[in-house]
A = this chain, B = another copy of it.
């Protein structure tokens, strides 16, 4: 009668909170549905708080449940990281940092960073995950990532942002486009072309910057396609579905039948920044940040 909350409850709760469906949650947890029902009910009893509203055929979170979901995610992520760290410490290694990054950082920044880290902290493991700007922020806040590489100019309270790489933009044209490096004077020459851009959602910063480049040249671009993958953008240009403006670094690493014209004289820059949580408890990150902030 006098039960205690256990991690089991949290794991079940999270499954139900995400699925909003007891049977599906049960399947995901590899237990039977009544097991989930009784445990959630017990949990509500222990916490003396209703977490779900079930009106037969529909399950949804109460405000308290909503709050708990965030906290449980945080706790479980933190715990997962603690377990990893612990094992590494036990084995005499030091730690792990989990890095999120935009695809466009893979050309130069990330590889250099990893080499530097390896050299200075040979016992710190790194794990990499490619994620959009938007996905990295909550992952860092909830301790799923330690460090992110984004193109953003503002981040929520509690996070720190530091620019690490400034790149010019380049115009991307099909191989047989009439305009070439010699003939190029200013961006106004392609005012009537269709544009292919990275989607706003993936990187609002990038999107706004490209628009401002065109505005400065006195026209509003006609955006025909949007994509989240550089590969796709280049492929679309190759197939003459439009032209693009992308960070110059992206031209390396893709085998594409397109030509690049670097827009050196344009003042806008593609800024890649590091983001991390100021009070991240990962001791490995602390060491790394000391190094990274010096570079």
Contact of A50 among B7, B63, B90 (CB under 8 A): B90
Which of A81-89, A112-120, A129-137, A237-245 forms part of the interface with chain B?
Answer: A81-89
Q: Which residue of B lies closest to A48 (CB)?
A: B87
Looking at the assembled complex, report how far the CB atom of A185 sits from the nearest CB atom of chain B, in whole angstroms. Answer: 49
Which B residues are in CB contact (< 8 Å) with A8?
Answer: 4, 6
Q: Is the CB of A48 within 8 A of B90?
A: yes
| Minimum distance in angstroms from A160 CB to a CB of chain B | 10
Q: If A85-B67, A278-B158, A279-B158 touch, does A49 touch B7 (CB 8 Å cutoff)?
A: no
Q: Please, which residue of chain B has its CB at the minimum distance from the CB of A279? A: B158
Q: Are B86's CB and A47's CB within 8 A?
A: yes
Report if A87-B278 is in contact (Cβ < 8 Å); known contacts: A75-B79, A79-B75, A82-B71.
no
CB-based contact A68/B82 at 8 Å: yes
- How would residues 150 to 167 of chain A score, 1 for a CB under 8 Å from any chain B CB and 0 otherwise? 000000011000000000
The size bracket of the interface on A is 20 to 34
Per assembly, the copies of the chain total 2
Chain A 269-287, CB within 8 Å of chain B: the 1/0 string?
A: 0000000011101010000
Q: Report the bound CA distance from A143 to B74 in whole Å.
A: 14
Pick the contact of A7: B6, B62, B83, B90 (CB < 8 A).
B6
CB distance from A139 to the nearest CB of B (A): 15
How distant is A9 from chain B, measured CB to nearest CB, in Å?
A: 9
- Interface 1/0 per residue, A65-102 and B, CB below 8 Å: 00110010011001100110111011000000000000
User: How far in angstroms is the closest Cβ of chain B from A134?
Assistant: 20
Interface membership of A256, Cβ < 8 A: no
7 sample A-B contacts, Cβ–Cβ < 8 Å, listed by A number: A5-B83, A6-B6, A62-B90, A71-B281, A74-B78, A277-B279, A278-B278
* Top-3 shortest CB links A-B: A49-B90, A158-B279, A64-B90
